[in-house]
């Protein structure tokens, strides 16, 4: 925190941004020290969780939280006794302590404390062998700069939001809003065009609610390289495609619609051997479809809870913390696949018989495909071919009886148990 503050002040950049600090903040005194070191925003995590009833069992990633906080199990969730008022009351205590400290130090406003590291003194009275030799002078150093150099945020930045590509997309889409007729748009895209589609999705959600639009009402085809978060928060009825490539966070938080990305038709790159898109794709997605005719980066489909995706290769930590949806991998994966995966299904092509060594099997089972799985898989590979013209998909479908036997099904143990219980209940109901 101190190093960041000093560097920004020395380069006259501090006045343009806010600094947020977190890490074991629990009391008003912690906030006071953080403010004096230069922070304007303060992240609390552990303490509010404890206030809500957390007993620090450290089972969050397993979904077996005994007090019903980090779990989706209904029986465990019934054990949750927390209320919003508890957290409000806790922060009142924090604020009151902070005000007492401010009063003692002579500060009327929290803003006046920001960056006043000169008001912090180390306790020289501590006589302990562990404290001997500790030098806090670098941490408690106030940069020697003119008085006109800001030590906290004093000016707003112009991020050029009024010039982003989405404004054009929304304007072009109004005809589809009013008439309901399918609309096709073709546009170039650059890596400075970030979060393309998010404003359009927001406008559709405001007008039509969570149901969105009928499938493929708005079809937007881009050519070029997309910036970060392409297709973030995409909604039902919007289909986005790229001939080119994309950066990180494609499809972040998407709830519907379709995203498809492939290399430029004239590219000489072999898709299943080259990187097409970046890391953390489909982070937190809840629905929709995504097709990638190429290899993507790490943490593909992390925290995915409902999206369906097909990809031709990915990096480490694929399907991490996934809770729903379907992922099809038509190529190699990195290590630690399915770490913390508690729901959903993945189908992985294991033509070299190496996937077992790359999968984190602590919560999942690796199985052969059943007839129902083979049907689902084939339909998704066919869609992948349709939307990306993938040569790999065409090759697999050309010898499907031989190809389907090379796939491995990845399914979480608890998720399979829940599916089996649901089938039993359905059978009893029909009986």
- Do 342 and 276 have their domain in common? yes
Those residues whose C-beta lies under 8 Å from the C-beta of residue 69, and which sit 6 or more positions away, are: 49, 52, 53, 54, 60, 80, 82
CB–CB of 129/45 below 8 Å? no
pLDDT tens figures, 141-182: 999 999 899 999 999 888 888 999 999 999 999 888 888 899
Same domain membership, residue 211 and residue 64: no
- Do 179 and 84 have their domain in common? no
Do 316 and 391 belong together in one domain? Answer: yes
Furthest CA-CA distance within the chain: 82
- The pLDDT value recorded for residue 158 is 85
- Rounded to an integer, what is the distance from CA 328 to the centroid of its chain? 19
Query: Do 201 and 328 have their domain in common?
Result: yes
Q: Does 190 score more than 80 pLDDT?
A: yes
pLDDT bin (cut points 50, 70, 90) of residue 428 is confident
Please, what is the average pLDDT of the chain? 94
- Domain end point (choices 88, 119, 150): 119
State residue 391's pLDDT score: 95
CATH code assigned at 330 = 2.160.20.60
Q: What is the pLDDT of residues 381-421, one digit of tens each?
A: 999 999 999 999 999 999 999 999 999 999 999 999 988 88
pLDDT band at 431 (very low <50, low <70, confident <90, very high): low
For residues 336 and 355, is the Cβ–Cβ distance under 8 A? no
In the predicted structure, residue 228 carries a pLDDT above the cut 60: yes
30 and 177 inside one domain? no
Mean pLDDT of 112-125: 84
Residues 305 and 363 in one domain: yes
Give the pLDDT mean for 205-224.
Answer: 94
For residue 343, being part of any structural domain is answered with: yes
Residue 14 belongs to a domain: yes
Question: pLDDT, tens digit, for every residue of 338-360?
Answer: 999 999 999 999 999 999 999 99
What pLDDT score does 274 carry?
96
For helices 28-37 and 84-105, what crossing angle results, to 10°? Answer: 60
Assign 12 to helix, strand or coil: coil
Which residues touch 174 (CB under 8 Å, ≥6 apart)?
Answer: none
- The mean pLDDT value for 104-118 works out to 94
Residue 49 has what pLDDT? 94
Contacts of 26 (CB under 8 A, 6+ apart): 44, 46, 47
Domain residue limits at 248: 163-430
User: What is the predicted pLDDT for the residue at 124?
Assistant: 62
Compute the average pLDDT of residues 61-78: 89
272 and 175, same structural domain? yes
Domain-located, residue 219: yes
The model's pLDDT over 239-261, given as tens digits with 9 standing for 90+, comes to 999 999 999 999 999 999 999 99
Q: Are residues 207 and 315 in the same domain?
A: yes
Instruction: State whether 87 and 180 are in the same domain.
Output: no
Identify whether 169 is part of a domain. yes
Q: What is the predicted pLDDT for the residue at 137?
A: 85
119, 143, 175: which is the final residue of a domain? 119
Looking at the 3D structure of the chain, how many domains does it have? Answer: 2
Across residues 212-221, what is the average pLDDT?
Answer: 95
Rounded to an integer, the average pLDDT of 20-41 is: 95
Res 125 pLDDT > 60: no
Residues of 362-373 as b/e, b for ≥16 C-beta within 10 angstroms?
A: ebbebeebeeeb
Please report whether residue 149 resides in a domain: no
Question: How far apart, in Å, do the first and last CA atoms of the chain sit?
Answer: 64
Same domain, 294 and 196: yes
Please check whether residue 308 lies inside any domain of the structure: yes
The answer to whether 251 touches 231, Cβ cutoff 8 Å, is yes
Residue 283 falls inside a structural domain: yes
Q: Which of 119-133, 232-246, 329-343 has the lowest mean pLDDT?
A: 119-133
Looking at the structure, tell me whether residues 418 and 301 fall in a common domain.
yes
Say what angle helices 198-208 and 165-179 make with each other, to 10 degrees: 30
Q: Of 92, 119, 146, which one is at a domain's C-terminal end?
A: 119
Residue 156 counted as domain residue: no
């Amino acid at each position: 925190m101190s190093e960041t503050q000093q560097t920004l002040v020395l380069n006259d950049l501090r006045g343009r941004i806010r600094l947020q600090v977190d890490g074991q903040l629990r009391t008003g005194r912690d906030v006071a020290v953080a403010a004096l070191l230069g922070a304007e925003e303060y992240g609390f995590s552990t303490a509010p969780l404890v206030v809500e009833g957390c007993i620090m069992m450290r089972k969050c990633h397993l979904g077996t939280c005994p007090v019903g906080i980090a779990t989706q199990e209904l029986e465990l969730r019934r054990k949750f006794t927390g209320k919003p008022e508890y957290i409000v009351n806790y922060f009142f205590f924090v604020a009151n302590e902070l005000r007492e400290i401010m009063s003692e130090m002579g500060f009327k406003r929290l803003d006046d404390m920001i960056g006043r590291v000169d008001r912090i003194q180390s306790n020289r009275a501590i006589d302990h062998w562990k404290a001997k030799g500790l030098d806090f002078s670098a941490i408690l150093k106030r940069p020697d700069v003119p008085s006109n150099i800001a030590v906290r945020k004093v000016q707003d930045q112009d991020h050029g939001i009024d010039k982003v590509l989405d404004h054009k997309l929304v304007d072009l889409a109004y005809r589809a809003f009013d008439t309901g007729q399918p609309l096709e748009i073709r546009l170039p895209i650059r890596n400075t065009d970030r979060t393309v589609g998010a404003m359009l999705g927001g406008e559709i959600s405001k007008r039509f609610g969570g149901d969105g639009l009928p499938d493929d009402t708005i079809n937007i085809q881009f050519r070029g390289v997309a910036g970060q978060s392409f297709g973030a928060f995409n909604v039902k009825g919007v289909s986005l495609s790229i001939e080119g490539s994309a950066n990180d966070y494609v499809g972040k938080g998407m709830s519907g619609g379709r995203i498809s990305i492939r290399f430029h038709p004239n590219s000489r790159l072999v898709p299943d051997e080259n990187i097409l898109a970046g890391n953390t794709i489909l982070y937190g997605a809840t629905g929709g479809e995504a097709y990638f005719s190429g290899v993507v980066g790490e943490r593909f489909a992390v925290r995915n809870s409902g999206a369906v995706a097909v990809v031709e290769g990915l990096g480490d930590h694929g399907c991490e913390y996934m809770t729903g949806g379907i992922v099809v991998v038509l190529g190699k994966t990195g290590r630690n696949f399915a770490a913390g995966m508690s729901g959903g299904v993945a189908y992985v092509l294991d033509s070299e018989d190496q996937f077992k060594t790359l999968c984190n099997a602590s919560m999942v089972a690796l199985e052969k495909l059943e007839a129902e799985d083979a049907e689902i898989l084939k339909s998704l590979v066919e869609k992948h071919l349709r939307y990306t013209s993938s040569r790999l998909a065409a090759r697999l479908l050309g010898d499907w009886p031989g190809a389907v036997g090379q796939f491995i099904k990845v399914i979480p143990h608890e998720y399979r148990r829940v599916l089996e219980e649901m089938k039993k209940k359905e059978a009893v109901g029909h009986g």
